[in-house]
Amino acid sequence: MKGSVRIALDAMGGDFGPSVVVPGAAIARDRRPDSSYLFFGDEAVIRPILDQHPKLKAVAEIRHTSVVVKNDDKPSQALRAGRRVSSMWQAIEAVKNGQADAAVSAGNTGALMAMSKICLHMLAGVDRPALAAIWPTLRGESIVLDVGATIGADAQHLVDLAIMGSAMARILFDIERPSVGLLNVGVEEIKGLEEVKAASRRLREINLPTMDYRGFVEGDDLGKGTVDVVVTEGFTGNIALKTAEGTAKQIAQYMREAFSSSLLSKAGAVLARGAFDELRKKIDPRRVNGGLFLGLDGVIIKSHGGMDALGFAGAIEIGYDMVRHGLLEKIREALTLSTEGLGAAPEAPPAPDADRSDAPADPANS
C-alpha cells in the first residue's frame, strides 16, 4: 500500500474518551510518521485537546457527532439507538467507504463487534468474526483467538481461526511460517471434543505453506509460548484471558504484601528494585493492548476501555501494521490455498451459540 495509512478513531469510546484517544494518536503519529487520523465525536471536547498536539493536528480531521455508544449498552440497543450517527458506527463506516484504512475504538466490545459485522460484512469464506489478543509469554508474545467475539465453534470455524491467526502472526512477529496449536484438554490426538479433533485433522491435511501446524496444546502452553498462535473458541478463550489477568493481579498483590510485611522484607524490596522494574515492564498491559477483529472485510481494533494514552497508541499501531503489511490480502490468499486441492470443508451442524449480537464476552473490560 502506498501513501499514508489513515486511521479512524472513535474518540468518545472507553473510560476516558478524547483525553486518552487524542494523546494516544499523537504518540502513534510520532512512531508512525506516515499515518493520519479521522476523529469521530464531540468536536467541542476533541478540538481543545487536539490543539495541544500541533504535529497531530496537521494530519487530523474531526467529524462531529454527539451520539456515543455507552459502555453498558447491549449491542442490540446500540444498533437501534441512532447507530448511524454514533462515533463508533461512523468510525467503522469510514473504513467501509474507503475514507480510512482501519478503525480503533476503546468502546463497548459487543457493540463494536456487532456494528462491524453489519457495516463491513465478513470476508468470503468466513462465517463468524473472532477477536485475537496478543498474549505475553516466556518466549515473548503469542496470538490467542478467539477471546470472546462469538461462542462455540465447529471444525471449519477453528480452521478459519488458525488461518487468520497465522496471517496476523506473519505480520506482527515477522515470521514466514508461524507455529499454530489448537487448545485442548491434552496433546494426545484421541482427546478432546470431536470438533477440535476434526479441525486438527483438516489442518494437517491442508498443510499450508504459510502455517506450521503443531497439533494440540494445553492451558499451560499459553504462558510458555509453545506456539506463535493458539486457537480456541470464544467461550474458552475469554475464560482463559480473564483467568490470566486475575492471576497476574493476584501474584502482584502477594508480592506487595510479602515485601511490606517487615523491615527486612522492605529492605529486600529496595535492593531488588531493578528486578521489580523489569518485571513490571514485562507484565505491563500497555505492551499488548489492542485486540483485532478477524474475519471482517476491514481492519477493526478494540482497545482496552481503561487504557492510558501509551496503551491506546499501541492499539493504533497494531491497526497501522495490519494495513501496511496487507493483512486482508494474506488472509484471502491463505483461505484460497486451504480450499484448493481439497475442496470445500464438509458441511457440519452449527455449533451451539447464544444470540451472537448480544452474547459476545468482553475481553477488554469495555
Q: Domain limits of the chain?
A: 5-124+295-325, 130-286+330-339
State the pairing for strand pair 299-302/229-231.
Answer: unpaired
C-alpha cell read off for 258: 510479602
User: What is the DSSP code string of 219-252?
Assistant: THHHHHT-SSEEE--HHHHHHHHHHHHHHHHHHH
Whether 5-124+295-325 shares its CATH topology with 130-286+330-339 is answered: yes
Tens of pLDDT, residue by residue over 135-182, are 888 888 899 998 988 888 899 999 999 999 999 999 989 999 999 999
Question: What is the three-class DSSP state of 339?
Answer: helix
- C-alpha cell, 7: 486511521
Residue 282: pLDDT band by 50, 70, 90 thresholds? low
Fold for 5-124+295-325, please state it: Isopropylmalate Dehydrogenase (3.40.718)
Tens of pLDDT, residues 78-136:
777 667 789 999 999 999 999 999 999 999 888 999 999 999 999 988 988 999 988 88
Query: For domain 130-286+330-339, which architecture applies?
Result: 3-Layer(aba) Sandwich (3.40)
Q: Which cell numbers hold the place of 27?
A: 504518540
| Partners of 134 in beta bridges | 143
Beta pairing, strands 212-217 & 130-137: unpaired
Q: Cα–Cα distance between 151 and 182 in angstroms, integer?
A: 16
For the beta sheet containing 5-10, the strands, ordered from the edge strand earlier in sequence to the opposite edge, are 60-64, 35-41, 5-10, 102-105, 299-302, 291-294, 130-137, 140-145, 229-231, 179-183, 212-217
Distance of CA 249 to CAs 88, 243, 263, 280, 283, Å? 31, 10, 24, 12, 10
Strand partners, 299: 102
- Which range among 8-17, 209-218, 274-283, 357-366 shows the weakest confidence by mean pLDDT? 357-366
Q: Is 177 exposed, middle or buried (0-12, 13-18, 19+ CB in 10 A)?
A: middle
- The residue among 86, 68, 135, 5 whose CA lies nearest residue 305 is 68
